[in-house]
Every structure is written in C-alpha cells, then in structure tokens.
Structure 1
Amino acid sequence: MEISFKGKRVLVTGAGQGIGRAIAIDLWRAGAKVVALSRTRSHLESLKNEYPAIDIVDVDVADWDKTRELVDSLGHFDALVNNAAVAICEPFLECTTKAFDLMANVNVKSIINISQVIAKKMIDNKTKGTIVNISSQASKAALKDHTIYSASKAGLDSITRSMALELGPYGIRTNAVNPTVTMTAMAQVGWSDPEKAEGMLSKIPLGRFAEVSEVSDAVLYLLSDKASMINGVELPIDGGFLAT
C-alpha cells in the first residue's frame, strides 16, 4: 500500500531524535514538506545535516506563550504529529510537584496549545487535516514508577477523543497511537538489562519490544487518506500487551 504526502505540509514536534525524528524522515520520504520542532537545537541541526529539505525550529513546548507565537508564525499545515513528551519515573510515594508540572506542561498542555493553533488555520483554510498524538501503553495500564507519566498520557487520550469530536465536523481527524517500549537509541540503553527487560517482555505476547519503524508506519497510515474514516481511536502498538 503506497502512501504519499506529496504537496502536504506537516509539523512534527519532538522531532530531534527517537520516534519523532523517524516520523519526520518517513514523512519527507513520502513527499511531505516537513517542519521538525524540538527543544534541542543540536538534535535538529543533526537532522538538517542529513535531510536538508526538512525545515527545523526550536522551542521549549513547556512555554505556552513562546510556543504559541512560534507555531502561529509557521503558517498553515495539512497535518500535525504531537510527539514531544517528557518522562520522569518516580515511585508513587515520592512523586514531586516539579515532575508533575513539567509533564503536565509538556505532555498535556502543549498538545492543546499547538493543536489549537494548527486546527484553527486548518479550519480557516477549509483543510481536511489530520492530527496524530503520540500516547503510550502507560495510559491504559499501571506501570511501576509511572504514576504522573501515566496520568499525563491518559489525559492525552482524553484530549484526543475530545479533539476528534469537536474537530470532526470540520473534516479534521484526530487519533492517537499507544506504543509499548520502542527501541530508540535511548530505550536500547535503558532496557539493555535482561532482568529489567524480561519483566516487560513477559507481558507482551509477541515477546519483543516495538521497533521505531513500526510506530512510524502506523502514524503515517493514520495521517493518510487511507485512514479517512478513522477518527478518535487510541491504537496500541504493543504486541498484545494490553490484550492480556
């Protein structure tokens, strides 16, 4: 199944590394005009060096006003991938307000902020746009030391459903993907301990973690016209973790 984004302009947040970087590159390969947004300039410059046609912008999405001003200045987009996120793992009894505020600002508030700006321009331009939010299996199942992160991703799932309901009448589709552990460079380091990995792998019927390409492929499908009747879903990419 060939998917093309030729002539489409797409904003990808958290695109400096990991899943967001892969999505940005795959969208470019599919013909999209991609704008990659990240907080870390060096990551963006690395991406730009490899793929000069991808435009880059840096901002800390935790800053509501600066982010809103920047995203508004970027103009009209046909699609948006809300990938920017932060994860701080703390035991429930040791959860801090600092961690809560940061994850609320990045994982929840920034999605509303950026999506509002992009969706309003879609509506003004009568664009049948698409939005995909990158959530997590942690929104659906209790994971040790993930209380605040899980809450933030559950909030994101709820936002996704509300966006689907309220933006749907304008022809704008909003969906989420909920990956399990995905083997980015960072995850390969964090999950290299066989004892730690076995605890999670034992709960995944397919017996392995997700590859970055498997998440990106699902995102591109949901963004494409091939998914034209899919709106408001939260798609697990978890090898059956949530089925058990």
Structure 2
Amino acid sequence: MTTIDRNQEFAGKTVLVTGAGKGIGHATALLMAERGARVFALSRSASDLAALNDAIGCETRCVDLADANAAREAARVAQPVDLLVNCAGIAELAPFVDVSVDAFDLTMAVNVRAAMIVAQACARSMIERGVAGSIVNVSSLSATVGLPLHAAYCASKGALDAMTRVMAVELGPHGIRVNTVNPVVTMTPMAEKAWSDPAKSGPMLARVPLRRFVQPLEVARTIAYLLGDDSSMVNGVSLAVDGGFQAG
C-alpha cells in the first residue's frame, strides 16, 4: 500500500490562495507550504502579506478583489498555478430589511465575482498546460442555513456553491476538480466580529453536537484533502465542516 509523505504531498505544485492574510486563508497558506507547495498569496493587507512572506517565503500581491480588473490582473500574474483556494470573503451584517444595495453588491463582488474571475484565469492556464488541477472555493454552512443579519452573506455563499457545481461539470472533462468546503462558524477575525455576543453565539453553539466552533487549521486541513490526491474522485461536492450541525 502506498503511503503519502504529508511533508512532501504538494512538492512541485504551486497553489494560489486568496484571502491569505488572515483566518482560513492564512492557515491554508501555512499548511500548504508545510506540505511542500509553492504558495502565491493574495490579500488586501500588505502587512499581513509581509508577515506571511517572512514565515514561509511565499510570493505575494496586495489586491482589493472587489475591483474586477485588479482581481483579473492579480490572477494573471500568479500563473501558472496547479491549485487554487478561493478564500477571500467579507460579511456585511444587517437586518434583512436594512441591507443596502451597496453592501449587497460589495459582498457578491468579493465572495462570488472575485472567485469566478480568479478561477477563470487559473482554469484557462490549467487547460492550456494540460494540468489536472484542483480548485477549492471556501463557502460556508450559511450557503444552506439562514442566519439572522447575514442576508447578503448567505446569498453570496449559496451562489458560490451553485457556481462551483457548474465549474465541476464544465472543468471535470479537463481533469480539473472543483469543490467547496462549508464550515460552521470558524474562529477567524471576521467571525469574532460577527459572533462575539454570547447571546448570539450561545444558541448557535447549542446546535453543534461537538459544542464548539471550528478552528481555521481544521478547515485548512479539509481544504488540503480536497486539493490532494486522496480526494481524486471528489468533484462538485460541498463538504461540511460543521461538528454535526446538519445532523441535528
């Protein structure tokens, strides 16, 4: 039986990680470097990218992915890549009746449109080079569960899951797998902002049989699984990392 050396699992591979400055993206960049990958990291924060570069010696580009042209250029510069993790995301919280058009449009631009633009550039390059690549779009349990104050966010993640299924169907014949990872609340800086109130987090925690939220590294390990050869026949899947939330 063949065993995989996790320290060299992605040796010779280049992975592009968006939203790599913090949270899940940061944890993923560190883990992929640890497992031998060359990392190209995108983030809005130059200081976060500088710290990441100091840690793993990756290539970086500071970019606001809400800008479609900037997103397209950043993805172009990053090529050629073998693996893509679309992790950049924002959450604009408001009651449904108060959600502004600007907030909704910005959320969709970062969480869905940027993922499309970056994945298009990566997929074209993979197809041209004949690379059997893998793409993971970081979604959320909120793609299928309605959360108060998260109308724009839930809508964006539902759209991301739907787009991923189309990507899997169209890119699969080229040997490119596309999946989403869908964590419950993950303890990132963004989540701490959204779930810092015990009155809000308590009922949510009560619905998680493991009685805790997810840590970024736990999601990163799931992403690495979806990127790697262990999941070679997994395509078009939305993989929950929810501690049993949906089982209840």
Tell me if TM exceeds 0.5: yes
Q: 1:13·1:20 contact (CA, 8 Å) conserved in 2?
A: yes
- Alignment map for 1:92-103 (pairs within 5 Å): 92-103=96-107
- Whether 1:176 and 2:180 are equivalent positions in the alignment is yes
Q: 1:140·1:242 contact (CA, 8 Å) conserved in 2?
A: no
Paired residue type of 1:43: D
Q: 1:178·1:236 contact (CA, 8 Å) conserved in 2?
A: yes
Partner in structure 1 of residue 148 of structure 2:
144
- Aligned partner of residue 61 in structure 1, secondary structure: coil
Q: CA deviation at 1:196?
A: 2.5
Q: 1:205·1:241 contact (CA, 8 Å) conserved in 2?
A: yes
Paired residue type of 1:6: A
Q: CA deviation at 1:163?
A: 0.3
Q: CA deviation at 1:241?
A: 1.2
Q: Select which of 27, 30, 35 maps to 1:22.
A: 27
- Which string of whole-angstrom CA distances, capped at 9 and with x for unpartnered residues, describes residues 78-114 of structure 1? 0000000110111011010011110111111111111
- Whether 1:167 and 2:171 are equivalent positions in the alignment is yes
Q: 1:183·1:209 contact (CA, 8 Å) conserved in 2?
A: yes
Compute the TM-score of the two structures, normalised by the length of structure 2: 0.94
- Alignment map for 1:208-219 (pairs within 5 Å): 208-219=212-223
Partner in structure 2 of residue 46 of structure 1:
51
For 2:151 and 2:105, the matched residues in 1 are separated by 13
Partner in structure 1 of residue 17 of structure 2:
12
- Whether 1:235 and 2:239 are equivalent positions in the alignment is yes
Partner in structure 1 of residue 91 of structure 2:
87
Q: 1:134·1:178 contact (CA, 8 Å) conserved in 2?
A: yes
Q: 1:141·1:242 contact (CA, 8 Å) conserved in 2?
A: no
Could you tell me which runs of 5 or more consecutive residues in structure 1 were left unpaired when the two chains were aligned.
none
For 1:10 and 1:209, the matched residues in 2 are separated by 27
Q: CA deviation at 1:191?
A: 3.6
Q: 1:61·1:110 contact (CA, 8 Å) conserved in 2?
A: yes
Q: CA deviation at 1:150?
A: 0.2
For 1:37 and 1:45, the matched residues in 2 are separated by 11
Paired residue type of 2:148: K
- Aligned partner of residue 179 in structure 2, secondary structure: strand
- Which string of whole-angstrom CA distances, capped at 9 and with x for unpartnered residues, describes residues 119-157 of structure 1? 000000000000000000111111001111100000000
- Identity across aligned pairs (percent)? 47
Q: CA deviation at 1:198?
A: 1.0
Indicate how the Cα distance of structure 1 residues 187 and 108 shifts in structure 2: closer, same or farther if over 3 A, else same: closer
- Whether 1:62 and 2:55 are equivalent positions in the alignment is no
For 1:79 and 1:32, the matched residues in 2 are separated by 9
Q: CA deviation at 1:41?
A: 0.9
Q: CA deviation at 1:6?
A: 0.3
- Which string of whole-angstrom CA distances, capped at 9 and with x for unpartnered residues, describes residues 13-52 of structure 1? 000011100000000000000011011111111211222x
Could you tell me which runs of 5 or more consecutive residues in structure 2 were left unpaired when the two chains were aligned.
none
Partner in structure 2 of residue 195 of structure 1:
199
Paired residue type of 1:111: A
For 1:133 and 1:118, the matched residues in 2 are separated by 13
